[in-house]
Structure 1
């Protein structure tokens, strides 16, 4: 079993790390791959570095677009790939040299129709790959199902995208939501497990390395607006029961994990939407997301009123 594997690397102003990332592809023990470097409008030396790697190995290809975000860059890669399997990799992260080979070998032992996703464990690293830290969450195979990904994502675990290895069939009817700058991977995992009812293979080895990069998007921006946008976007795919349950989980999670809500759970029913809006304003939520936040908290207010009214009866 030696299918072509397409590796998609979106790049935006991470030229200082790109060589290390591409070297981890060139070093793969599995050789039948293509690597699509997608330059998402970088203004650093990304173009120069990519051109050098095109000369180094013909399996690398290069595409440029004006800056449209990581989701758009990944979608461009999906449009031009030729492989039977897909591996995503951010331009500041790296793969263990045998990640692709191990994934292919594990799939060869199974029915690809039933097992179209391989998930490996991961480690964190700083500037030096030898300076390794344990992952920020503990993977357990029981988490890799639809309900866990929908309801306890960000609570007990998340799955870095480059931990995954995918049959290309999953992307026939899926494209990353280009309005999301974060949590687009959460949406992807939710929809894959909801729509495909697939089994996944879990490899409990750190085959993906996640760089602790202080300049990355996840380290430099407030992620709450994107979380809310992803939540609102998912509504169209969820049942009423699922959406209501997710709404309750989100408000309880925010009340526990942030200083936005100092009132106890019992007092939330007394907190009106206006007060919630003031609290959110203090948390520096950008004005462009007021509509999404209003939708969320109006709904949550109604849900809590219903919940406490039922307790009284």
Structure 2
């Protein structure tokens, strides 16, 4: 008999966290699950950690693939999974033991729902060191246009994944989960939020999310806005309001930086060097 939930755990260079994530799966009160650990070509000891869990419980399944990125790893795991519902879980995050007990019935009892999520604790280093509380809102694509209300570890129907054609594997710089949720909800699926803190998100100093926000945010947002342009055209006035607000915020930040004492001192120190470079370019 097929399990109700397939938990997909991609792992790349996070073997040192993997045990804690898999322990949180093993501890679930709801027991009708399978967990597919996808080794995304990781150069660390992901294989060794995974194999210990496969021996411990037959519900754990190990899959290796050459490195293809997060979306590719999730898709690979889902392709061999058997569950009616899918739960992505990053290798460094942790489920509350009641996560599935509280979320699975929500999808089972409402056929209009494609996704169900919950409140989340953001923690640093240890699970007890909570640094931020996330309380998402909404139910439709309107709430997802400019802010991703849903954590990546949200429970969804396999039918959503099939209709989307999977996670977008071209999105290797992040926000792939945001795009996935937009794709689901624009097809008519609603989402629901269980107002309980049932998930622990590990806040690392360096992560794919922080890298995306700091280095690739505009590029990835442009891709999402363009791919789902019908949603943003429909919401044109709000879209312009959001985009020009972000431009104003960036300008204010830029002006503050230019007026900072450190910037002015640095500019004065570098002035002779700029003059020398300009003079050299003229005599060449």
TM tier, shorter chain?
A: 0.7 to 0.9
Q: Compute the displacement of 1:248 (Å).
A: 2.8
Match of 1:194 in 2: 186
- TM-score, length basis structure 1: 0.73
Partner of 1:219: 210
Q: Deviations over 1:82-134 (max 9, x none)?
A: 000011110000110010111123334x33x2123211111111222122233
Task: Report the CA distance between 1:67 and its aligned residue.
Answer: 1.2
How many residues get paired? Answer: 251
Instruction: Give the superposed CA RMSD.
Output: 2.4
- Summarize deviations over 1:139-198 as a string: whole Å, max 9, x none: 23xx33212211x31xxx632111x11111111122111121201111111111111x22
User: Cα deviations across residues 45-100 of structure 1 (Å, max 9, x unaligned)?
Assistant: 11111111111110001111111110110111121110000111100001100101
Match of 1:251 in 2: 243
Q: 1:281: which partner in 2?
A: none
1:148 lines up with 2:143 in the alignment: yes
| Runs of 4+ residues over 6 Å off in structure 1 | none
Written as runs of structure 1 = structure 2, the 5 A alignment for 1:6-21 is 6-21=6-21
| Residue from 195, 212, 229 that aligns with 1:238 | 229
Over 3 Å counting, the alpha-carbon distance change for 1:233 and 1:3 in structure 2 is same
Partner of 1:306: none
Partner residue of 2:55? 55
Change in CA separation of 1:10 and 1:166 when aligned onto 2, cut-off 3 Å = same
Are residues 262 and 247 of structure 1, via their aligned partners in 2, closer, same or farther at CA, if it must alter by over 3 Å? farther
Bigger Rg over Cα:
2
User: Are 1:185 and 2:172 an aligned pair?
Assistant: no
Cα deviation per residue 1:252-298 (whole Å; 9 max; x = unaligned)? 243244358758xxxxxxxxxxxxxxxxxxxxxxxxxxxxxxxxxxx
Partner of residue 206 from structure 1, selected from 179, 190, 197: 197
Q: 1:228 aligns with which of 219, 224, 229?
A: 219
With the length of structure 2 as denominator, give the TM-score of the two structures: 0.80
Residue segments in structure 2 that go unaligned for 5+ positions in a row = 256-284
Partner of residue 126 from structure 2, selected from 122, 125, 128: 128
User: Once the 2 structures are TM-superposed, how far is the Cα of residue 223 of structure 1 from its aligned partner?
Assistant: 4.6
